[in-house]
Structure 1
Amino acid sequence: MTALRIAILTHSTNPRGGVAHCLALAEALCALGHEAVVHAPDPSGRGFFRAAACPTVSVAAKPVAGTTVDLVRARIDDYLRHFASPAACDFDVFHAHCGIGGNALATLKHHRLIAGFVRTVHHVDSFADPVLSDWQDRSIREATHLLCVSHTWADRIATDRGTEIGVVGNGVDLAIYQEAPTEADLIVRERWGLGVGPVVLSVGGFEARKNTAGIIEAFALLRRRHRQAQLVIVGGASLLDHAAYGARCRAALRAHGLAIGRGEAVIETGPVSQEEMPAFYRRAAVLAFPSWTEGFGLCVLEAMACGTPAIVARRPPFTEYLRSDDALFVDPGDPRDIADAMTAALAPMTRARLRAAGSTRAAAHAWRACAERHLDTYAACARVEREPIHA
């Protein structure tokens, strides 16, 4: 295949699963001989949450005070300003991974600055606000080619759209996420006051679709058996407003007498660097990830690569790419079931079985293979891009 210039658009420079996917995908594409450039609005001016072995562009953006609709509209406009000239649109393929980028590219297509674009749908949110819902729908409807990270979402969208959708999957970098400790392990333990544990890790902050409330209820039950257990909640950077749900979770913690802070029963870190993330996985006895809604659940592969057993919801997409003995499957609506899984993960024989199975499962998901699954779609989109656009 001829080398391609690919513009990859994501919604943020923060450490979220979709952003991590874009950076790793671009790095793998560059290793295959293409030029993949990841773009994201960057109101902080600090750039992406990690250094990348691919070109990146921090799109000029300003902080926005207002509603989520105001913020999303501003980020779409940031992209439109950035790609306003033909020179900025000098790419063979445009690939959006979010509704923000998808709406900007849809507008560029209508303005005939580009011929079409690829849209990867990681998952579909349920928005109460009709404007956000319409923007999400448009970013999918207007795409020239659609991809998904799981068959679960590909099948759902294909049913709605009546079109075939490619499945590209996900990957994990085994050079970064591994069982061998690094200097970061000691730094993480000391910085956050991690004790003898057991430590339960939750990734994604206080968010309804991550089922944080269910994890809290389960952890409260675990603490009855293990008084020194700690719940570490990592991440949480999001464009969406989760304040009301976060307040509900904090109220639940207070009701259970669980303090939040360094060295306390519950530790909330906020976003952390990629250098530190493997250390959190390695320190944890188990990853609690019984999500209600996921596109794929990238952190499950990362945890497994670090030798950490995972608790996941007994529902797609987890049941799609994990076998029954790869992880501990639970009913996400049953805190006692989740708590029992937390306890089961501490048993030496169960831990040994899950560590072995998880290592095998993580090794089967390489970013290079994920990147290669994009190439036919890119080639088809590039042919569209190279056709003359007539006024």
Structure 2
Amino acid sequence: MTSTRMLRIGLLTHSVNPRGGVVHTLELGKALVEAGHDVTIFAPAQEGERMFRPSSCRVVLAVGDEAPINTIDMVDGRIRALKRVLRSNGAGEFDILHAQDSISGNALAEMKQSGEIRGFFRTVHHLDQFPEPKLSSWQRRAWKDADRVLCVSETWTRRMQGEFGVTALMVPNGVDTQRFSPVAEGDVELLRPFGIHRSPVVLAVGGIEERKNTLLLLEAVALLRKGGTDVQLVIAGGASLLDHNKYVSGFIRRASELGLSVGAGEAVVLTGALTDAAMSAFYRRADVLAMVSLQEGFGLAVLEALASGTPAVVSKIPPFTEYLNDAVCSWADPKDPVTIAKALLDALDARDSIDFVHAVPALLDRFSWSASARRHSQLYEQWLATQSIANQ
């Protein structure tokens, strides 16, 4: 089924920061607009914040009343702020409301319970383990109360069915091959403040997080340097709503123990949040992307790196094993720094082992945002049809 009419769609995300789920929301919104739909993106924000990237969609920011004092307070405030802006923007008049995360999913779940909206979609990119029962409860409600649950990988589609009995539907992710390409424009000036002067450069995307396995990547880099390969580790991004301070402190401490200095121009460079242009420049400058995560919903950074002409070392775990193979990446055991180091060294020494002529372009062709928008439109129409029948 293909959509034959314009739908009024509200896409909700959890922040304005350049995280995977936020990027997904912006790219999906753009593709839905290009397909002829009317899309509004709703996102919570702090006073003075703006969406990290301009959008062709209408963007409505939900600014909280007060500064949060902890994570639970922050989540609660963002749920309340989203509900306020949804009400003031006629939430019940949207054909589709679609949450990409637990925060916005709870805002919609509460509005559904109160009868303010008919229902909502929820995309589960991945689920986290939280020590706080309240956060776990919020996470569960955000998918349990949804009318349709979508996932961006077969791995999570199966997990939702097997662990929770949820009949989730698979939707494709995408990659913007114009934004991410081997063509450089002003990269030297964009990278100059970070002191990227060494070669080879190992790039990790997403900041320092336990889920990203950043500590074991650090151990692998130390092994490479000990073996005579003077690599520079660049950790890009890192804007997160969750508290990773303990893990970050452990990372900094371990870097010091390993004799690895941290800072601009040093062995380990922490960039913090980056502009789109700088992120693209880092992908092109890197000699290899290291994505050795312990858990991912999909792993957009791999496609972005490959689109930029940069080889990738990837954890040999689902969902990566669903859509990648030996022709497009190098594999590593994410729990073993020795094998991570070996995979990085092999990727650096045998760059030509990645088939950038045939296999990589074929892979990138499989994942377009226009295809993702078509699939979403089909699922939206199918759900709306069930609503029409129920109301007859």
With the shorter chain as reference, the TM-score category is over 0.9
Secondary structure, in 3 states, of the residue corresponding to 2:318?
Answer: coil
- Determine the C-alpha separation between the residues in 2 that align with 1:86 and 1:322: 42
- Determine the C-alpha separation between the residues in 2 that align with 1:65 and 1:71: 5
Tell whether the 8 Å contact from 2:327 to 2:353 is kept in structure 1 after alignment.
no
Secondary structure, in 3 states, of the residue corresponding to 1:83?
Answer: helix
- Determine the C-alpha separation between the residues in 2 that align with 1:25 and 1:385: 24
Structure 1 residue 164 and structure 2 residue 167: aligned? yes
Question: Shift of the alpha carbon at 1:153?
Answer: 0.3
- Counterpart residue number, 1:353: 354
Structure 1 residues 43-52 or 124-133, which shifts more?
A: 43-52
Tell whether the 8 Å contact from 2:224 to 2:230 is kept in structure 1 after alignment.
no
Structure 1 residue 72 and structure 2 residue 75: aligned? yes
Structure 1 residue 318 and structure 2 residue 311: aligned? no
Question: Shift of the alpha carbon at 1:344?
Answer: 0.8
- Determine the C-alpha separation between the residues in 2 that align with 1:209 and 1:234: 15
Question: Shift of the alpha carbon at 1:387?
Answer: 7.9
Secondary structure, in 3 states, of the residue corresponding to 1:210?
Answer: coil
Question: Shift of the alpha carbon at 1:298?
Answer: 0.6
The Cα offsets for residues 157-189 of structure 1, whole Å up to 9 and x where unpaired, read as: 012343422111210011110011111x11233
Q: What is the aligned length?
A: 388
- Counterpart residue number, 1:217: 219
Secondary structure, in 3 states, of the residue corresponding to 1:64?
Answer: coil
- Counterpart residue number, 2:334: 332
Question: Shift of the alpha carbon at 1:123?
Answer: 0.3
Question: Shift of the alpha carbon at 1:250?
Answer: 0.7
Tell whether the 8 Å contact from 1:198 to 1:226 is kept in structure 2 after alignment.
no
Tell whether the 8 Å contact from 1:38 to 1:56 is kept in structure 2 after alignment.
yes
- Determine the C-alpha separation between the residues in 1 that align with 2:65 and 2:179: 32
Matches within 5 A, 1:1-391: 1-62=4-65, 64-85=67-88, 87-183=90-186, 185-226=187-228, 228-347=230-349, 349-351=350-352, 353-356=354-357, 357-383=359-385
Tell whether the 8 Å contact from 1:261 to 1:268 is kept in structure 2 after alignment.
yes
- Determine the C-alpha separation between the residues in 2 that align with 1:222 and 1:76: 45
The 1:63–1:249 alpha-carbon spacing in structure 2 relative to 1, beyond 3 Å, is farther
The Cα offsets for residues 102-131 of structure 1, whole Å up to 9 and x where unpaired, read as: 100000001111010000000011111111
**TM-score, normalised relative to structure 1:** 0.95
Tell whether the 8 Å contact from 2:91 to 2:117 is kept in structure 1 after alignment.
no
Secondary structure, in 3 states, of the residue corresponding to 1:374?
Answer: helix
Tell whether the 8 Å contact from 1:195 to 1:228 is kept in structure 2 after alignment.
no
The 1:62–1:311 alpha-carbon spacing in structure 2 relative to 1, beyond 3 Å, is farther
Give 5+ residue unaligned stretches, structure 1: none
The Cα offsets for residues 279-315 of structure 1, whole Å up to 9 and x where unpaired, read as: 1001001001010010000111000000111111111
The Cα offsets for residues 238-284 of structure 1, whole Å up to 9 and x where unpaired, read as: 11100001111111100111111111111001010111111100100
The Cα offsets for residues 125-146 of structure 1, whole Å up to 9 and x where unpaired, read as: 1111111001000001000001
Give 5+ residue unaligned stretches, structure 2: none
Aligned partner of 1:124: which letter?
L
Tell whether the 8 Å contact from 1:115 to 1:384 is kept in structure 2 after alignment.
no
Tell whether the 8 Å contact from 2:62 to 2:78 is kept in structure 1 after alignment.
no
The 1:58–1:388 alpha-carbon spacing in structure 2 relative to 1, beyond 3 Å, is farther
Secondary structure, in 3 states, of the residue corresponding to 2:216?
Answer: helix
- Determine the C-alpha separation between the residues in 2 that align with 1:139 and 1:65: 21
Secondary structure, in 3 states, of the residue corresponding to 1:146?
Answer: strand
- Determine the C-alpha separation between the residues in 2 that align with 1:363 and 1:305: 10
Structure 1 residues 349-358 or 10-19, which shifts more?
A: 349-358
**TM-score, normalised relative to structure 2:** 0.95
- Determine the C-alpha separation between the residues in 2 that align with 1:91 and 1:367: 22
Question: Shift of the alpha carbon at 1:345?
Answer: 1.2
- Determine the C-alpha separation between the residues in 2 that align with 1:383 and 1:59: 31
- Determine the C-alpha separation between the residues in 2 that align with 1:5 and 1:226: 58
Tell whether the 8 Å contact from 1:45 to 1:58 is kept in structure 2 after alignment.
no
- Determine the C-alpha separation between the residues in 2 that align with 1:239 and 1:133: 15
Give identity over the alignment, percent.
43
Secondary structure, in 3 states, of the residue corresponding to 1:14?
Answer: coil
Tell whether the 8 Å contact from 1:207 to 1:242 is kept in structure 2 after alignment.
yes
Question: Shift of the alpha carbon at 1:224?
Answer: 1.9
Secondary structure, in 3 states, of the residue corresponding to 1:238?
Answer: coil
The 1:230–1:374 alpha-carbon spacing in structure 2 relative to 1, beyond 3 Å, is same
- Determine the C-alpha separation between the residues in 1 that align with 2:256 and 2:163: 43
- Determine the C-alpha separation between the residues in 1 that align with 2:105 and 2:83: 11
- Determine the C-alpha separation between the residues in 1 that align with 2:361 and 2:90: 45
Question: Shift of the alpha carbon at 1:33?
Answer: 0.4
Structure 1 residues 316-325 or 358-367, which shifts more?
A: 358-367
